[in-house]
Amino acid sequence: MKTLAPHIRKAAAADCPQLLELVRELARYERVPDEVTVSLAEFIDAGFGDKPVWEAFVAEVDGRIVGMSLFYIRYSTWKGRRLYLEDIIVTEAMRGKGVGKLLFDETWKLCQARNYNGMVWQVLDWNEPAIRFYEKYGATFDGEWINVSLAGNATTNGQKK
């Protein structure tokens, strides 16, 4: 059977089990398979509950989701509203077939349509295929900033527990 061209559309709550599988595939690719701890219920609520915090586009082929672009609004005190691209994921079997480009282009079009000041994201320094992909768009890479995070109950009043 011939594979159809990918269809790009907004994600729906019913897509979340497949989207979470894509997230797990990305975690395996990034060599941290045990880092995905979000539950399906939390994932659905965060995207489609009373106060959604993320949106996504999906790429579908033959009724199966083969990629996604998950994003949300970030606010920069210097630049204003910016779209933050949390993840762009394409299944291993569909990489190199233009699916990522379709998802990226659709996300960028949405960013522009909403008059956001730009789009930002992160890429691992060893992910050469992704870096080459973003270079084709003329993306700027900033090696100056250090990623920082704090887990739920990691500190109390600035003191380590």
Contact 69, 22 (CB under 8 A): no
DSSP secondary structure string for all residues of 66-80:
EEEEEEEEEEETTTE
Contact 70, 119 (CB under 8 A): no
Q: Given this model, what pLDDT does residue 18 score?
A: 97
Residue 2 is given by DSSP the state P
- Catalytic residue numbers, as ranges: 134
Contact 84, 34 (CB under 8 A): no
Token pair, residue 153, equals 């109950």
Adjacent-strand bridge partners of 9: 58
Residue 155 reports pLDDT greater than 80: no
State how beta strands 55-61 and 7-10 pair.
Answer: antiparallel
Least confident of 60-64, 72-76, 146-150: 146-150
Phi and psi torsions of 61, nearest 5°: -130, 130
User: pLDDT of 65-91, one tens digit each?
Assistant: 999 999 999 999 999 999 999 999 999
DSSP secondary structure string for all residues of 74-99:
EEETTTEEEEEEEEEEE-GGGTTTTH
CATH 3.40.630.30 corresponds to the domain 7-143:
yes
Residue 145 reports pLDDT greater than 90: no
Q: From the centroid of its chain, how far is CA 91?
A: 13
The total number of residues shown for the chain amounts to 161
What is the value of pTM for the model shown? 0.88
Burial class (CB in 10 A: 0-12, 13-18, 19+), 110: middle
Percent of the chain with pLDDT over 70: 93
